[in-house]
Amino acid sequence: MVHAKYILPFNPVNSKSVKVKESSTGINIKFKSELPFFAIENGTVIHVGELKSYGKVILIDHGDNKRSVYLGDLNINQKKGDIVKIGQNLGFTEIFLNSSKTFFFQIRINNIPVKFEMNGIKD
């Protein structure tokens, strides 16, 4: 486990429409409404694209071989090379026809997913 606490990559204002499930490789966030998502630390956007069957992805390099990965039904408002600050809006989740969607968030060190703590996650 990474012994640092990070801000949540989203603001759980509509907590009834958001469900968070932690896993050994990241967190899965199920949502039913459009939510903004945010940078967990300062960094540089190194990739924005799409993964077939998984959705859109944005990768941010935070230095010291640490990266954050945001993946899912996303409307990303950053591009490769952008410098982002902690808490900066990266985009919004997308919903279609009131269906539940999933947003996946992960931290990688040396390109290996690590378990971490997030400030604000409550069971």
pLDDT band at residue 120 under the 50/70/90 scheme: very low
**Cβ atoms of residues 10 and 38 within 8 Å:** yes
- Alpha-carbon span 21 to 86, nearest angstrom: 23
Sign of CA dihedral 74, 116, 80, 13: positive
Q: Cβ of 101: how many Cβ atoms within 10 Å?
A: 19
Q: Which domains does the chain have, with CATH numbers?
A: 2-118 (2.70.70.10)
- Alpha-carbon span 28 to 104, nearest angstrom: 5
Is the pLDDT at 97 greater than 70? The verdict is: no
Residues 17-33, mean pLDDT to the nearest whole number: 71
Single-letter amino acid code for the residue at 104:
F
Q: Cβ of 116: how many Cβ atoms within 10 Å?
A: 20
pLDDT of residue 8: 55
45-59, 60-74, 83-97: least confidently modelled range: 83-97
pLDDT in tens, 108-117: 999 998 877 6
pLDDT of residue 121: 43
pTM to 2 decimals? 0.79
> Phi first, then psi: what are they for 16, rounded to 5°?
-70, -25
Is the pLDDT at 7 greater than 60? The verdict is: no
